[in-house]
Structure 1
Amino acid sequence: MSTFLLAHDIGTTGNKATLFSKDGDVVASTFYGYNTNYPQVGWAEQNPNDWWKAVCHSTKELLQQANVLANEVASISFSAQMQGVVAVDQKGQLLRDAIIWADMRAEDEAKYLSDSLGFDTIYEITGHRISSSYSGAKIVWIKHNEPDIYQKTYKFLHVKDYLIFKLTGKFGTDYTDASGMNLLDLSKKEWSSKIVDAWGIDGEKLPNLYPSTYVIGEVTNTASAETGLQFGTPVVMGGGDGSCAALGAGIVEDGDIFNYIGSSSWIALCSSEPLIDLEMKTFTFAHIDENKYLPCGTMQAAGTSYQWVRDQIYQNVIGNVGGRKNTYDVMNEEAGRSKPGANNLIYLPYLLGERSPWWDPKAKGSFIGLHVTHTREDIARATLEGITMNLKVVLDTFRKYHGHFNDMWLFGGGAKSLLWRQILADIYGVEIHVPKLLDETTSMGAAIAGGVGAGVIKDLSVAKEWVKKDDSHLPNNEHRQLYDELFHIFQDAYKQLAPINHRLSDLHSKRG
């Protein structure tokens, strides 16, 4: 009987392929990397053939590593980077390299739509601010700048959609990926004719829409020969990486909420309705469950901020740590020797500008209140606290619409720090739960979608059973009172410094 679930997580740096049992155990995992090309400043492209090569290679390696036969695989499903564009002709042949999420070339196209329909209208329809990072503006850029390719394009696909075509010969996308395009009417789960018409996009070039658990096709003979998978194995749509991560975190019921901390960080929750925030601090994706939504807030430089402190201030430690310790262990130990509040030192974590909650690309990072008595320990702790306070602005936005949250799941590399877990609990004022598997969330969500689609798993609620708790942290009320006071100063510091930071950005632009 086919009982194993194969999930491919197609990220920006490579493909992480994971084989799960139907009970949620990781049987084997492997990684295959590829490159990103940057033809011009602000452009980011990848060759989709590299993704396919990664899928073929990692699938064979995974089956061999796990000693699993191809006929024991019940389904193949995907999670993948979102907000890209893959242009293919009617035979599925590539017409150009893929424009990926990090590409920001389509600023003029985004501005045109905003001027035509209005910023608020676009947010109300799609659940997102208009941005050149989304797929819709990129499609219009191709239309304006590469008209021959636009005319030849049969379908504009996402990353996972192209790989699904390679496996099955079928075209389509799911609601989660579609919700990251600035083209989907989020409430109706259909392409918005108002936006499609305003942008002048040929609607026939957009793929058909399916639920994430939909079996879109089966592995073809050609794909079987290239991947080692059995002919006829069901291929399930899966979803965008953010939505898959939420499912893998067990976020399936209204009010379920989680925080992921990696290089960037986000907080997301499950809701029966899209969240239309009047201040537009947050945005909303479709959930893997086609009847649910995923309000979300994403900040730019979470782990990146801590890495910057490591590289700039802990240079004497890097490479000189013995035993099982690494540089971050030393940083956490030192940060733990600083008192909560880091001796009244506040860090604004805006090294890369900011998305949620301020949506300010000209925001700058800074330490506020720096004094000669401050130590390296204070700087390390203030960095962790500043990242967390920025995320609390997002969390408080969700509280405004959904009320109080008692607890929250934490995932990603940041969850490895015991100190950071406690800081999160203290600043958020919620109990923090940490799973045993910190880095399999996204793949796990894709595998669950695949298992439901193939009929191996009863429904998506099994996600709560797959997430195994390793530890929990309750907030320290004494620390929380201190953090509440500093939190107000933190927000005021951003607002007061914003005009100065904008002037600095403008000055930098003038000087090139």
Structure 2
Amino acid sequence: MSYTLGIDIGTFESKGVIVDEAGEIVASAASPHKMIVPRPGWAEHRADEDWWHDFKTISRKLLDTSGIDPSDIRCVATSAIGPCMLPVDEAGIPLMNGVLYGVDTRAEQEIVELTDNLGADKILERCGNALTSQSVGPKILWLKRNRPEIYEKAAKFLTSTSYVVFRLTGEYVIDHYTAANFSPLYDVRMQDWAADLSDGIADPSRLPRLMWSTEIAGRISAQAAAETGLAEGTPVTAGTIDAAAEAVSVGVHEPGDMMMMYGSTVFIILVTGERVQDSRLWYAPWLYPGTHASMAGLATSGTLTHWFRDEFAAELSKDAAFAALAEEARGSPKGAKGLIMLPYFSGERTPIHDPLAKGAFFGLNLTHGRGDLYRALLEGIAYGTGHVIETYREAGQAPARILAVGGGTKNDVWLQATSDIGGLDQIVCEKTVGAAYGDAFLAAVAIGAAAPEDILLWNPPDSTIKAEEHAVYKSQYKLFRELYESTKHIAAALGESAD
């Protein structure tokens, strides 16, 4: 028997699995860490203490739990949160904490200036994406302006997956799907670094080598073998962003398939037959040559449920808190007794791309209790998700099949509200492990042990959440949209006063 191993580095927790040739999970393990928020609008991880530490810890846990001989693991694949910005020196040593994906909004000024200088239309045509807080290019420019001593020392600018693969193999690589988030440094037409657009930001020589996700980046070095317990010489794929691996894990495969990921953020990936060019959404080549993907994501989702638990349910044990809060939310009627929540606690990504947006509970009265607040929070995230689904439909890309995955799939109130507000059915597959399982599958594809369509055999559908119509959601969705539009000038002013 031979196996593949997948490890995913998440926002708050990393997970890993060992999978056999039939897709059965032989062992699983997890390791928690924290997101660092040095100041409002910033979000960071420590590359060694969070990303690499988690990989080493999980790898050894998996081997110890399974009892598998490391030499029987034929391939390793990893994924991680992204896109991130991590400068490293000539030896590959991190020069600062990794700057996280769109939840980190520090480069707002650079986004505006680059858009003005290069032109919004040119950026969208060449890079496939408008510049937003999700883009890595502006964050590198922010580093150049605000931390010039670090910028000058940086030999390479990596993302999270690139760093883990480097620690495993000594190779600096990045997959095309992730690279497309480095706007304006990546040209989606040429599928190469855009030297003419990167002038003044970062020369392409300071960026990782481009590969497809299932290409072999290198083999585990002697040092990495000693640290992880894996066998020296084991092939390692180029890897990808966690959301892409998560989409693969539940069967997203052909045009029209959409993943709805319920994690620290809601992240959506739609595989398409052609490139979708819409400034409200993100575009990237999909994981295999000749394929395309259109993405969207909220800035805060599961993060909000953690915040609510910690701030308003501290008396509950962390293991039981979410179940108890969900039960309280079930006791509140749909619409939370006229309470609406804007989920923009870290600004917002798609479709409004507003880093100054603020969170709010609106409509509070003395009859509202904790269960109403928690239902309003879940429904607020669902309204934000519904806004994204509406955007896809307006772009002519209505999904044919939606597959739900992530820790939030355990929350039936959240799932049902999303289906009802978005007017879509959602399929939940047998295995909801997430990105680590997708990594293990991509590792199997990389060595020819599986074909991309075999994921449907590895992880078949288990249940479906049917969309139901509710008048209160229709009316409150309109109010949700109006509430943001009516208050965004106040949110922006609050942001300015906070500075």
Q: 1:297-338, CA deviations, whole angstroms, 9 ceiling, x for partnerless residues?
A: 2112323334444455555x624x9xxx92333332332233
Map residues 66-465 of structure 1 onto 2, 5 A cutoff. Answer: 66-88=66-88, 92-94=91-93, 96-101=95-100, 104-131=105-132, 134-144=135-145, 150=151, 153-182=154-183, 183-197=185-199, 199-277=200-278, 280-314=279-313, 318-319=316-317, 326-405=320-399, 407-438=401-432, 440-457=433-450, 459-465=451-457
Counterpart check, 1:65 vs 2:65: yes
1:196 is matched by which residue type in structure 2?
S
Equivalent of 1:487 in 477, 480, 491: 477
Structure 1: which 5+ residue stretches go unaligned?
Answer: none
Deviation at 1:43, TM superposition (A): 6.7
In 2 relative to 1, CA 349–148 (structure 1 residues): closer, same or farther, beyond 3 Å?
closer
Counterpart check, 1:466 vs 2:461: no
TM-score scaled by structure 2? 0.89
CA contact (8 A) 2:5 2:19 kept: yes
Deviation at 1:252, TM superposition (A): 1.2
Deviation at 1:29, TM superposition (A): 1.8
Partner of 2:488: 498
CA distance in 2, matches of 1:149, 1:312: 36
Q: Which of 55-64 and 302-311 deviates more? A: 302-311
CA contact (8 A) 1:16 1:30 kept: yes
**SS of corresponding position for 1:161:** helix
2:439 is matched by which residue type in structure 1?
A
CA contact (8 A) 2:134 2:181 kept: no
2:442 is matched by which residue type in structure 1?
A
Q: Which of 214-223 and 96-105 deviates more? A: 96-105
Q: 1:428-456, CA deviations, whole angstroms, 9 ceiling, x for partnerless residues?
A: 22222223333x22112222221111121
In 2 relative to 1, CA 303–122 (structure 1 residues): closer, same or farther, beyond 3 Å?
same
Structure 2: which 5+ residue stretches go unaligned?
Answer: none
Deviation at 1:117, TM superposition (A): 0.5
Deviation at 1:377, TM superposition (A): 4.0
CA contact (8 A) 1:84 1:98 kept: no
Q: Which of 99-108 and 172-181 deviates more? A: 99-108
2:494 is matched by which residue type in structure 1?
L
CA distance in 2, matches of 1:488, 1:38: 33
CA distance in 1, matches of 2:309, 2:166: 43
1:332 is matched by which residue type in structure 2?
A
CA contact (8 A) 1:255 1:402 kept: no
Q: 1:220-247, CA deviations, whole angstroms, 9 ceiling, x for partnerless residues?
A: 3343333332232211112111221221
CA distance in 2, matches of 1:371, 1:204: 58
CA distance in 1, matches of 2:13, 2:368: 41
- Percent identity between the aligned chains? 31
**SS of corresponding position for 1:420:** helix
Q: 1:113-133, CA deviations, whole angstroms, 9 ceiling, x for partnerless residues?
A: 223102343233223332465
CA distance in 2, matches of 1:465, 1:341: 39
Q: CA RMSD in A?
A: 2.9
**SS of corresponding position for 1:84:** coil
Deviation at 1:357, TM superposition (A): 2.3
CA contact (8 A) 1:434 1:471 kept: yes
**SS of corresponding position for 2:316:** coil
Deviation at 1:296, TM superposition (A): 1.7
In 2 relative to 1, CA 34–195 (structure 1 residues): closer, same or farther, beyond 3 Å?
same
**SS of corresponding position for 1:381:** helix
CA distance in 1, matches of 2:142, 2:363: 45
CA distance in 1, matches of 2:368, 2:11: 38
Larger radius of gyration: 1
CA contact (8 A) 1:105 1:138 kept: yes
1:496 is matched by which residue type in structure 2?
S
CA contact (8 A) 1:267 1:395 kept: no
